[in-house]
Amino acid sequence: MNRFTLLVLLAALALLLSVASESAESAVLGVGSRHSCALKDDGTVWCWGSNRSSQSGGFTSLSRTAPGHMSMWGAVSLSVGSLHSCAVMVNATIRCWGSASVGQLGNGSFTTPPGPVPVNWISSASSVAAGGTHSCAVLTNGELYCWGLNNEGQLGVGNTNISSIPMQVAAVSDISAVATGYAHTCVLNSGGQVQCWGSNSWGQLGAGDMGGFSTSPLTVPLSGVVAITAGGAHSCALLSDGSVRCWGYNEYGQLGRAGSSSAVPVSVLGLYGVEQVSAGGLHTCARRSGGEVRCWGSNEDFQLVSETLSSTPIPTPVPELFGAREIAAGSQHSCAVMADATVSCWGNDYEGQLGRGLLGYAMTASEVAQLPAAQHVFAGGTHTCAALSDWMVLCWGDNRSGQLGVGSLVSNPFPSDGPLIGGVVHFAAGRDHSCAVRNSGAVSCWGANSYGQLGTGNFASSTLPVAVIGINTAARIYSGVNHNCALLQDGSARCWGSNLHGELGNGNLVSSSLPVAVQGLGGIEELALGLSHSCARSSSGAVHCWGSNRFLELGNGSTEPRSLLPVPVSNMSNTISLSSSHRHSCAAKTDGSAWCWGSNDNRQLGNGTNDPTVNPVQVANVSGAVQLAAGYEHSCARLGDGTVKCWGSNGVGQLGLGTLQAFPTAIEVQGLDQVVDLSSGGSHICATRVDGSVRCWGNGAQGALGNGNLGYASQPTTAIDFDISMFRDGFE
């Protein structure tokens, strides 16, 4: 491999893992190539930055400049790789997310999923390490398993065969820690001995030779090691005396001393009292006792926080950064968790990987935007629910069918404790029912059930959550008026409830109280459900719809009254967000444009007319759209600058303009900014802002706005102060 190729790879791939000894705390922070993740004390994982391979989560492939929840609960440790990440869960299983192009998620697939997926066979993990394109896990019995790309022997199994499932590294045992770089792996055993294998182009295996690769472990001549870390093409070890030794590639001084690359460990000069070390792409950082952070190596992207952009082998203090308790060095940026639990990052920020809401570079450590108190809000027909940052659910509004899930039929215009279920990772609100996905992959629903929309095999309504039968690998849940669909972890979908117009997509018109498979679709990233139709957005950006077409809601150029199976929507490609309502649907494209199709009698398609059309039409006055929310006879778009525009019917103030005047094209909602999530119910809309507050407007007749009133609001009104201390201490 030539020098240029290596530099390109190192700049494009994440190269973090600082894995502490068995007596140290699990890492709570990780940074990859161009994304970052943090593990909170409540077991939730939040990611931000590049999202081209779903590595930062959410409903879009666009970069996230602020943290977003990774749709799982109960994580106890975290590791961030190049384009993928993994977490050990409280039950000792492992979940991974992001790119699966070479099997690095360990679930037996090479297809990138829409969210975290369980690694096959692993049920007793103690730690996990995500590298460039491979991953490894240490089990509680000291065994090691690896999976993913193996072109240079980085799996350590004696061959170069790729594997999308975990393979035991039989040549090592009694392992206490593992670290993965771009194409090499190192382990630490309980006796303080280090072994490495994989690529050795620059001596990163530390065994005295340089060049080629090794498919089996080689011993590094070190003793007294308490922690290890692997970067792009270099490795480092923390010794019991607080000193650091590094080996491998050194063109930028990332080994902590001047000179050429080294195939044996060398001391980082002038560094002592170290408690943690993290090797990045072309630089290295260490946290000393007292929380001081020092970095050395490449500074081409300000990863050393020096305005001169000069690389240096001398460990240099990060200015104005004190009291760090955890550090992580990535490809071109670094982050630290501070004593007060805030996170600060510095370096390259061209894909939002610093989480500060901006793009560019940061020449000083910048605090990551506050993790929101309210992560998502879900507006149903006449009720609303919100998931807090710990994914506790609060609900308010109409409860005449038990859709608040609190065991009664008493409506409530104020937010209060929602359904008592733990580990909620995704939520959906229908007209008069609600559903939630739990971190186990199971789904629970509650409320009205006259069409079997609770998925229990019967038609009995319930004021408390009941389990949907046969769903245990759900990633997300979506609700229409009287039917639901679950997006499974393998990218397929199952639906249940009303099927009077073929909205379940299984080829018939028989409603079902049990989930049935949507036929002919795979690789689904997002679903959207209306009154009598359903739509899906695939990983390719294409959109398919099925069910009723009485109001042209299939958008496929046809006037046929229905389709019992999915059909492609005309000219819908490169989409990033999808939303459906009663009789129309809308989608945003990668170029920021918004498109709608279906009923247009109240100008909800936003093209300035009320003419019907058999194909999607572009919404006027919208650019930079990142999320769409279709309501009963109106539509809204969240833009990349955090503002919202709406169009269509406005009889109860659902356009948020302070008046009841309808608009046939998009117009900005007044007094609303910094919006990070948007949801539209029947005739009311709710937005989550970056500070975690929720603002709602439109029809509040049943208390759906959460402000204690039962009338409409023609401008956004605060639904709740999301102070968790006001509510229960946690899940049951």
Span 389-399, mean pLDDT? 71
pLDDT at 205: 98
More confident residue, 576 or 276: 276
Query: Which helix or strand (DSSP H or E) is residue 465 part of?
Result: strand 462-467
Contact 280, 300 (CB under 8 A): no
Low-confidence winner among 171-180, 368-377, 659-668 (lowest mean pLDDT): 368-377
Can you give the pLDDT at residue 68? 73
Asked whether the predicted pLDDT for residue 153 surpasses 50, the reply is: yes
Decide if pLDDT at 601 tops 70: yes
Q: How confident is the model at residue 155 (pLDDT cuts 50, 70, 90)?
A: very high
Would you say residue 3 has pLDDT above 60? no
Q: Which two tokens stand for residue 473?
A: 């690998």
pLDDT of amino acid 725:
32
What does the pLDDT look like over 337-351, one tens digit per residue? 887 777 788 887 776
Name the strands in the sheet holding 125-130, side by side, starting at the edge strand that comes first in the sequence.
125-130, 134-139, 144-148, 163-168
Looking at residue 375, what is its pLDDT? 58
Cβ atoms of 176 and 193 closer than 8 Å: no
The pLDDT, as a whole number, for residue 726 is: 34
Averaged pLDDT, 219-231? 95
Q: Which residues pair with 213 in a beta bridge?
A: 199
Query: Assign residue 182 a region: left if phi > 0, alpha if psi is -120 to 50, beta otherwise?
Result: alpha
| DSSP code for 469 | T
Which tens digits make up the pLDDT trace of 59-115? Answer: 456 767 667 777 666 788 989 888 899 999 888 899 999 999 999 999 999 988 877
Q: Residues 654-663: pLDDT tens digits?
A: 999 999 999 9
Q: Over 50: is that where the pLDDT of 228 sits?
A: yes
Q: Residue 366's pLDDT is what? A: 67
269 exposure class (CB count in 10 Å sphere: 0-12, 13-18, 19+): middle
Whose structure tokens read 């989560």?
A: 57
- Return the DSSP state at 10: H
Q: Is the distance from CB of 545 to CB of 569 less than 8 angstroms?
A: yes
The predicted model gives 650-675 an average pLDDT of: 91
Rounded to an integer, what distance in angstroms lies between the CA atom of residue 504 and that of residue 507? Answer: 8
Q: Which of 61-75, 295-309, 672-686 has the lowest mean pLDDT?
A: 61-75
Note the pLDDT of residue 14.
34
pLDDT more than 70, % of the chain: 85
In this model, does residue 513 exceed pLDDT 90?
yes
Round the average pLDDT of the chain to a whole number and report it. Answer: 85
pLDDT of residue 341: 72
The answer on pLDDT for 20 being more than 70 is no
Please give the Cα distance from 203 to 206 (Å, whole number). 6
Query: What is the arithmetic mean of pLDDT over 576-580?
Result: 90
pLDDT of res. 309: 67
DSSP annotation of 619:
P
What's the mean pLDDT in 434-460?
A: 93
Lowest-confidence pick of 197-211, 610-624, 704-718 = 704-718
The pLDDT value recorded for residue 130 is 93
pLDDT digits (tens, 9 = 90+) for 229-246: 999 999 999 999 999 999
What global pTM score does this model have?
0.56
b/e per residue 45-71 (b: at least 16 CB within 10 A): bbbbbbbbbbbbbbbbbbbbbbbbbbb
CA-wise closest residue to 396 among 108, 684, 176: 684
**Structure-token pair, residue 698:** 């439109």
Contacts of 224 (CB under 8 A, 6+ apart): 192, 239, 240, 241
The whole-angstrom separation of Cα 692 and Cα 67 is 12
Out of 46-50, 193-197, 496-500, 693-697, least confident range: 46-50
